[in-house]
Amino acid sequence: MILDAEGFVFEPPPVISRARRVLIKPSAAYPTPYPVSTSREMLSAIIEGIRQVSDADILILEGTPDGEPVYPIYQSLGYNFPRVLTLDVRDCIWVEVDNPLPKPLIVPTFWVPNVILSCDYLITVAPLKVIEGRGHLSIANLLSVLPSSTSILRCLSTWGLSKPARSSSGKRTRRGAWWNNAAEFSSASLMKWTAKPRRHWGLRPITSI
């Protein structure tokens, strides 16, 4: 869904009333306010909507591209909600899960924070962005809860997949086709599925805003 931040009203799905833990994934990788980051007002509306129907624990999870602490960014954006636990991706325990795609072409397994597996409901909320001519919406917003790009590059280099591609001008680019495919598949997989480590996959509810 694409909604205006100022007039946004969150109507929680009925399944939230049965949730014990709800995880909110904002777009807050940089200390720049809305429309670059998810607005505090929108997060507040989501939190209030959850509390109208549920006493579930509410968590906010985000990470930074360079692996630096995210808590200073939370403070600068005003993410200081009462009875809401703010978490940093880099402090999480990583769990290896199988790729749910029938024929994974790039990565047969990937790593996700353990807190995602312990939540009953995941809400991803991000401002509408266009980066290098491509839409960056709520699914792409989930990429920052995956391991940092440095870790991904190190992993892919062991498979011989980290050679940079060349642009139309002949210059070497930092992100080749393999990166785009890996990013799209990883975010889509995380969007649709919540995994139990290595063996069993269970479908969990998710809201994308």
Q: What is the pLDDT of residues 147-201, one digit of tens each?
A: 764 455 444 444 444 444 444 444 444 433 333 444 433 443 444 333 333 333 3
Residue 7 resides in a domain: no
pLDDT confidence of residue 144: 85
pLDDT confidence of residue 191: 40
pLDDT confidence of residue 174: 40
Q: Return contacts of 201-206, CB within 8 angstroms, 24+ apart.
A: 201/97, 201/98, 201/100, 204/119, 204/120, 204/121, 204/122, 205/13, 205/15, 205/120, 205/121, 205/122, 206/121, 206/122, 206/123, 206/124
Residue 50 resides in a domain: yes
pLDDT confidence of residue 162: 43
Residue 203 resides in a domain: yes
Residues of the chain with pLDDT under 50: 149-150, 153-204
Residue 177 resides in a domain: yes
Longest Cα separation, the chain: 56
Residue 179 resides in a domain: yes
pLDDT confidence of residue 66: 84
pLDDT confidence of residue 166: 43
pLDDT confidence of residue 85: 96
Residue 103 resides in a domain: yes
How far CA 44 is from CA of 39, 84, 103, 117, 202, in Å, comes to 9, 10, 40, 24, 29
Residue 3 resides in a domain: no
pLDDT confidence of residue 86: 97
Residue 4 resides in a domain: no
Range of the domain at 184: 14-208
Q: Provide the number of structural domains found in the chain.
A: 1
pLDDT confidence of residue 1: 61
